Structures are given as C-alpha cells and as structure tokens.
Chains A and B, each alone.
Chain A
Amino acid sequence: SYELTQPPSVSVSPGQTARITCSGDALPKKYSYWYQQKPGQAPLLVIYKDKERPSGIPERFSGSSSGTIVTLTISGVQAEDEADYYCQSADFNNTSVVFGGGTKLSVL
C-alpha cells in the first residue's frame, strides 16, 4: 500500500526554524496537507494545498513542495508549537486518503 514517510522526530530551540519533511512517490501530482496534533486533542489543519494557511494559523507556518518531497516549515518556533505533525495526501489513483506516520516536534 502507498505510504508517506516522515522523520519520527525533529528538535529545535525556541526561535529557530523547524523543517519537517514528507516524502511520497505520488506527491508531484497531488496536493499535500499538514495537521498539528497536541496531546489529547484532535488534529488541526495548518497547511492546505501544499502552501496555503487556513484562517487563524500563524504566519510562521509555511509549506512547500519539490518533487516527491513536501516540507512544513515553522519559522521562529515557539514552545506552543511542540506537537505531532502529520502530512496527508492520497495514493496514485486517488482512491485512498493517506496520512504520514507523524513527526514529533520537540522545542528544547
């Protein structure tokens, strides 16, 4: 089955830039989306259509795409950004929504 691959963890200090990648062979032909999930909470959409920010999401969150890799960038990381982040897209035939395995962002 189709998979999206993310690094298990990323660590940064407050104020630094965090980059979380997601790779998948179908990504060049699909939109990607990013969700933030804090403990005990539902996932929250932070990036849609590769690089768009929903209303209410801080400008420090941005998305980019290059070939089979999409990247979530958080500039000027704050302590409140510590969370799990999941990418989402679909398989080649668009028959199944797929989530990445998740990346735990630690703010040291």
Chain B
Amino acid sequence: QLQLQESGPGLVKPSETLSLTCTVSGGSISSRPYYWAWIRQPPGKGPEWIGTVYFTGSTYFKSSLRSRFTISVDTSKNQFALKLSSVTAADTATYYCARQVGGYVPDYFDSWGQGTLVTVSS
C-alpha cells in the first residue's frame, strides 16, 4: 500500500526558507503515469495546489506561487522535496504531499500524506 510521509520543521521564522521532504513507500516514485505534488491548506481554508514534479525532474507550479517555490525529486531515495523562500505569516498552513494521477484533464490526487503543520512566526 502506497504511503507518503512529510517531514520538516514545524516552525519557521519570517524571511527564512522552508524545506520539506516527502518520503514515498510502498511504490516507486518513478512509476508511470504518476506525478508528485505539494498542496497546502491554511487553517480553516480549502486546499491550494502549489506545484508538481515528475520523476525526470520536470516541474510546474501554480503561476502566482512560482517565484518562491522549488520542487525537486531524488529517485534514489524515493523522495521529493519542497522549498519556499522568504516565508511570511501568510505561508502558515498544513503542507501535504500527494500522488498525482496523470493522463486526465485535469489530473487528480489519489493518495495523500498525513500533512505537516508549518507555522511562520518569530
């Protein structure tokens, strides 16, 4: 059974860089037709898709977030990662990693990690 697990700091100071890692188990991150996504959910609000990476390393992002986010993949560790620079309080949210099923218009998310709450505060 596929499992995804986010890891990273729960507290980040304003203007610093947030780094999160998602470890995939029970399946290969190189499997087709799957992509790997980061999604965040501010407290009391709906989910917001951030961006997606393919096992080849190609990425695409929500246009309004593209400038501050980086997503990378490490197939040898079966992991993918998210970096967010210059965080502010508006970036406080639960961050989820998810498996994205490709080939549809649009793709969808069939397996999610449990999520990790990231708070931006000094």
Contacts and interface: CB of A to CB of B under 8 A. Distances in A.
Contacts of A97: 37, 49, 62, 106-107
A42 B3 CA distance: 12
Contact of A42 (B101, B107, B115): B115
Contact of A100 (B37, B46, B49, B106): B46
Interface string B39-64: 00000011111000000000010111
26 contacts: A1-B64, A30-B105, A31-B104, A31-B105, A31-B106, A35-B109, A41-B114, A42-B96, A42-B112, A42-B115, A43-B109, A43-B112, A45-B108, A45-B110, A48-B101, A88-B108, A90-B106, A95-B60, A96-B49, A97-B62, A97-B107, A98-B49, A99-B47, A100-B46, A101-B45, A102-B45
Determine chain B's interface SS by DSSP, over half rule: loop
A89 interface: yes
* A-B pairs with lowest CB-CB distance, top 10: A90-B106, A97-B49, A42-B112, A33-B108, A102-B46, A99-B47, A99-B46, A101-B46, A96-B62, A45-B110
A49 B107 CA distance: 9
Q: Size class of A's contact patch?
A: 20 to 34
B14 interface: no
Nearest to A86: B46
Interface of A: 1, 29-31, 33, 35, 41-45, 48-49, 54, 86, 88-90, 94-102
Contacts of A101: 45-46
A6 to B, nearest CB: 9
B108 to A, nearest CB: 4
Contacts of A86: 46-47
